[in-house]
Amino acid sequence: MRKKLKRVVVLTGAGISAESGLGTFRDKGGLWDTYDINEVATPEAWAKNPTRVLEFYNLRRDLVIKAKPNQAHIALSELQKHFDVHIITQNIDDLHERAGSKNILHLHGEILYAQSVKCDKPLFEIKDGALKLGDCAPDGSQLRPNVVWFGEPVPKMPEAEDLVRTADYFAVVGTSLNVYPAANLIYLCPPEIKKFVVDLNHVPASKNIKVMDFRGKASEKVPLMIEHLKNLQDLSQ
């Protein structure tokens, strides 16, 4: 009888895709240095100037299509050979999927899909890379990017919360834990499990939570974290 695999839940953020050429938000030179979030990434921005919002996300979608998974994405995919891996990502790109990961929960939506302004289901693939005013869902409503904008609820958050509560190991990769409500997930894990952080910068965590810190580029440090995970599994057998 095959032994049940231990579950690794990984929360990923913009830092894991930065090495694939997709700009982060808060770092110097990031997207928000160029664009005002209030003008392109809020419900109010959509109401005020939907054309500008669509142009912004069309630009981002083009960058995603041209980007390629890096070694961090690939390493997490290969981790599936040894663990039951579930990825909760704050990213709206599809680099985890293209690297081969199977169980992916997109907290903030998927840029390659659109939804009706009236309802977030079903989703419609954007096949030509651009979304324009006049592109409508079957219900006759304008299509908008399948992205959770600032100020909107995160509909998949309860699913993410349930998932982290089942983790045997929890890892944070490429996120500062400054974006809520996703930043709360680390506090919902079983307190006794081991937790890992991979990021270029120091990631604040509660004094009551002990983490193993792999400071540096995700492409370099995620494979090291995975080797550590595999060693832990070997010791537990």
* Residues assigned a catalytic role: 108
Contacts of 67 (CB under 8 A, 6+ apart): 17, 20, 21, 22, 93, 95
Sign of CA dihedral 160, 167, 7, 180: positive
* Bridge-based pairing state of the strands 7-12 and 143-147: unpaired
| DSSP sequence for 159-225 | HHHHHHTT-SEEEEES--S-STTGGGGGGTS-TTSEEEEEESS-----TT---EEEES-HHHHHHHH
Q: Answer whether 73's CB lies under 8 Å from 96's CB.
A: yes
> What SS3 state is found at 133?
coil
